[in-house]
Amino acid sequence: LKNIAILTSGNDCPGMNAAIRAVVRTARHDGVKIWGVRNGYKGLIRDQIEELSTRSVGDMIQRGGTFLGTARCPEFMEAEKRQLALENLQKRGIEGLIVIGGAGSLAGAWELSKLGMNVVGIPGTIENDVWGTDYTIGSDTAANTVVDAINKLRDTACAHRRIILIEVMGKTSGWLAMTTGIAGGAEYVLAPEAKYNLDRMCAEIRESYEAGKRYSIIVVSEGAASAVELGKQVGEKTEIDTRVTVLGHIQRGGSPTVQDRINASLLGEKATLGLLNGESGIMYGLDTGTVVEIPLEEAATNTKTLDPEFIRLSKVLA
């Protein structure tokens, strides 16, 4: 292929810019024309497409978010809108597209590939919940942001002998809560995949404070419970001063970590080379550090489950 495009879709995550940079520079290195689509599938439908150069992606590797912009696009479910998107690519002679995003965005990529466009995907979401890959761009930066917050919250919890609940993102996936709970040394991690017993937890916390403990950190995945609601119950049941922090969109921003920059660069290069060599309907992910090719259809339709080892480990070490 000699003429390709790239878009970022769904929710942004740190490292998207590093991946775009890798795609643009790999394409230009091979003398291939590269276009950037603004605002995800929405921009594809609205014809917001512009040519990019090596210089368009200078000063980008360290920036969070996505300079192309992103959006959720329910319209892309409509066949006519997908046809319009296809025509907007074809009228510029664009023969291939790279999509960076989560499972929903990769499902869109799969749909577009069924219309005959060459499409490859790169998983990007802070939740690390895309099937077929160990890793998604942005998950490491988000996890480090959460661990930094846990460290700070423990300082103040310990000073006041308080319980602190911290609510982290993840929708139905407990990956972010579980890994950061382990890395942050949390006493409890409540995730959609891990059952918990509120009365038992509160009784254990009470006992530990009676024995001299000065703090308890409870990481709550947003899909397991509302930390605000739960915090009220924990405070009442333990009779220990309790505070709640909802981390929110802080988890989605920030300069990407080294791991996210390296993996985004690696996946960006491999996806571009694959597309240029005629691959389509493929997602480029990682399996224990090695780049793997997964059919987009499988990545989009299967549900990734949380490694039960994480759940076990978080209980053993708490």
Numbered residues of the known binding site: 21-25, 72-73, 154, 162, 185-187, 213-215, 222, 243, 249-252
Binding window for ligand F6P (CB under 6 A); candidates: 91-99, 119-127, 227-235, 268-276: 119-127
Cα–Cα distance measured from residue 214 to residue 69, given in angstroms and rounded to the nearest whole number: 45
Q: How far is the CB of 272 from ligand F6P (least distance, A)?
A: 24
Q: How far is the CB of 16 from ligand F6P (least distance, A)?
A: 11
For ligand F6P, give the closer residue by CB, 18 or 130.
Answer: 130
Interacting residues with ligand F6P between 45 and 84 (CB under 6 A): none
- How many chain residues interact with ligand F6P (CB under 6 A)? 9
> Which of 75, 77, 61 is CA-nearest to residue 22?
61
Q: How far is the CB of 10 from ligand F6P (least distance, A)?
A: 7
Interacting residues with ligand F6P between 122 and 151 (CB under 6 A): 125-127
Residue 171 binds ligand F6P, judged by CB under 6 A: yes
Written as six digits, the tokens of 78 are 């409509």
Point out the annotated binding site for ADP: 21-25, 154, 185-187, 213-215
Kindly provide the b/e burial profile for residues 108-117, where b requires at least 16 CB atoms within 10 angstroms of the residue's own CB: bbbbbbeeeb
For ligand F6P, give the closer residue by CB, 32 or 126.
Answer: 126
Q: How far is the CB of 146 from ligand F6P (least distance, A)?
A: 12
For ligand F6P, give the closer residue by CB, 34 or 150.
Answer: 150
62 contacts 31 by C-beta, under 8 angstroms: no
> Which of 101, 88, 82, 133 is CA-nearest to residue 7?
101
169, 218, 271, 296: which one binds ligand F6P (CB under 6 A): 169
- CA 130, 249, 120, 63 torsion-angle sign: negative
For ligand F6P, give the closer residue by CB, 129 or 187.
Answer: 129
170, 174, 231, 256: which one binds ligand F6P (CB under 6 A): 170
Q: Which helix (H) or strand (E) holds 297?
A: helix 296-301
Cα–Cα distance measured from residue 90 to residue 113, given in angstroms and rounded to the nearest whole number: 13
- CA 85, 86, 91, 92 torsion-angle sign: positive
Cα–Cα distance measured from residue 66 to residue 85, given in angstroms and rounded to the nearest whole number: 20
Interacting residues with ligand F6P between 217 and 276 (CB under 6 A): 222, 252
Q: How far is the CB of 275 from ligand F6P (least distance, A)?
A: 25
Q: How far is the CB of 204 from ligand F6P (least distance, A)?
A: 28
Q: How far is the CB of 224 from ligand F6P (least distance, A)?
A: 12
Residue 306 binds ligand F6P, judged by CB under 6 A: no
Binding window for ligand F6P (CB under 6 A); candidates: 73-81, 109-117, 169-177, 274-282: 169-177
For ligand F6P, give the closer residue by CB, 11 or 141.
Answer: 11
72 contacts 102 by C-beta, under 8 angstroms: no
Point out the annotated binding site for substrate: 162, 222, 243, 249-252
For ligand F6P, give the closer residue by CB, 126 or 282.
Answer: 126
Q: Can you list the pairs that 299-304 forms with residues at least 24 positions away whose Cβ atoms lie under 8 Å?
A: 299/103, 299/106, 299/121, 299/123, 299/130, 299/131, 299/132, 299/133, 300/103, 300/106, 300/107, 300/109, 300/110, 301/107, 301/131, 302/131, 302/132, 303/131, 304/129, 304/130, 304/131, 304/132, 304/173
Q: CB neighbours of 255 closer than 8 A, spacing ≥ 6?
A: 14, 62, 63, 64, 141
Write out the residues near ligand F6P by the rule CB under 6 A.
11, 125-127, 169-171, 222, 252
